[in-house]
Amino acid sequence: MFHQPWPNKIFRLLSIFCITAAIHATPLHALSLSSTPILAGLIDLPDTEEETKVIPYAELRCLQDDQDRIADIIITLGSHSGAAEIALLAHYPRLNSHEKVLRLVHPLKFIETVFVNPELRNWLPAVMNGFFTRHGFFGDENTNGLAQRLTLHAKLGKVECYREDFARALNIPAEDIRPYFEANDWEGLMDFLIEHVQ
Tell me what the mean pLDDT of segment 174-196 comes to.
95
* Residue 130: per-residue pLDDT: 84
Return the amino acid letter for 170.
L
CB distance 41 to 103 below 8 Å? yes
Q: Does the pLDDT at position 98 exceed 90?
A: no
Residue 50 has pLDDT above 70, yes or no: no
Residue 28 has a pLDDT of 31
**What distances in angstroms separate CA 118 from CA 2, 40, 77, 102, 193, one per listed residue?**
44, 25, 16, 21, 13
Please state the domain extents for the chain: 8-196
Residue 154 has pLDDT above 70, yes or no: yes
Asked whether the predicted pLDDT for residue 139 surpasses 70, the reply is: yes
Instruction: Compute the distance between CA of residue 111 and CA of residue 109 in angstroms, rounded to an integer.
Output: 5
This prediction has a pTM of: 0.73
Q: CA–CA separation, 71 vs 122, rounded Å?
A: 12
Of the ranges 28-42, 83-97, 116-130, which one carries the lowest mean pLDDT score? 28-42
